[in-house]
Amino acid sequence: MLIQLKKDMEKLADPEKAKILSRFFKTGKGQYGEGDVFLGIVVPKQRTVAKKYTGLPLRDIGRLLKSKIHEHRFVALIILLNAYKNADKEDREKIADFFLKQKKNINNWDLVDLSAPNILGEYLSDKDRTVIYRLAGSNNLWERRIAIMSTFAFIRKNDFIDTLRISELLINDSNDLIHKAVGWMLREVGKRDLKTEEDFLERHYSLMPRIMLTYAVERFDEGKRKKFLQK
């Protein structure tokens, strides 16, 4: 099954698209995606492949996640996410545990953003969330992004406390991929509770990196946006 999946993906490969994606996802030496290999398959086609291989065992999903090929890992996470959606309580726990064990292979922003809110975040919605605070304190960029992006699941349920606390922990982060993610999650809070977001910004705007603040106030009216950006 796994061998056939890879063959199906190889047939969809587009070398010219692969070059574009390699540049877009910063795969050059010293960049955040260094070493990532692309086949050049667009996301809708990857979703079609994932649907065909619904029910792929966790051991094979794990093998896909260890691949250097980016699309292999993306498809693996779509399959895992679909499995989580259809799982019972016991199997959801297994999938969430599997996700955490595989986190070193969830190592680009699209992989994190696809899976962290919809697997780990959803699983933790009614549970202890200590694990995301450990991830927020990690030296690993992607673990920190998993931490903040997992809180998107809580935001959707109008639960903002952990988003704000994780944002505070990451406010001095050195990486702009974290700045963007934090700003994005604050903006999502604001869509549901503008006062909560504004109160947070009033307390912290002076410490926030410019790009984080810009993402956070993106939906504000022009006057209010300028007020924060010019402070």
Instruction: Report DSSP letters for 74-97, one per residue.
Output: HHHHHHHHHHHHH--HHHHHHHHH
Residue 134 lies in a domain: yes
- Distances from the Cα of 25 to the Cαs of 18, 32, 59, 97, in angstroms? 10, 8, 27, 27
Residues 40-99 pLDDT 10s = 999 999 999 999 999 999 999 999 999 999 999 999 999 999 999 999 999 999 999 999
Res 138 pLDDT > 80: yes
73 in the same domain as 144: no
Residue 151: which of 126, 180, 185 has the closest Cα?
185
Residue 231: per-residue pLDDT: 66
CATH number of the domain within which 50 lies:
1.25.10.90
226 in the same domain as 121: yes
d(CA 64, CA 49) in angstroms, rounded, equals: 13
226 touches 191 (CB < 8 A): no
Average pLDDT over the chain, rounded to an integer: 97
The angle that helices 58-65 and 70-86 make with each other, rounded to 10 degrees, is 150
Per-residue pLDDT averaged across 140-166, rounded? 98
Structural domain that includes position 55? 1-86
158 in the same domain as 206: yes
d(CA 119, CA 148) in angstroms, rounded, equals: 13
Outline where the chain has alpha helix (H): 2-11, 15-24, 43-52, 58-65, 70-86, 89-101, 109-115, 122-124, 130-136, 141-150, 152-155, 161-170, 176-192, 194-204, 210-216, 222-229
Residue 111 lies in a domain: no
User: What's the number of domains the chain is made of?
Assistant: 2
Res 215 pLDDT > 90: yes
pTM for this model (two decimals): 0.95
Residue 139 lies in a domain: yes
217 in the same domain as 134: yes
Residue 42 lies in a domain: yes
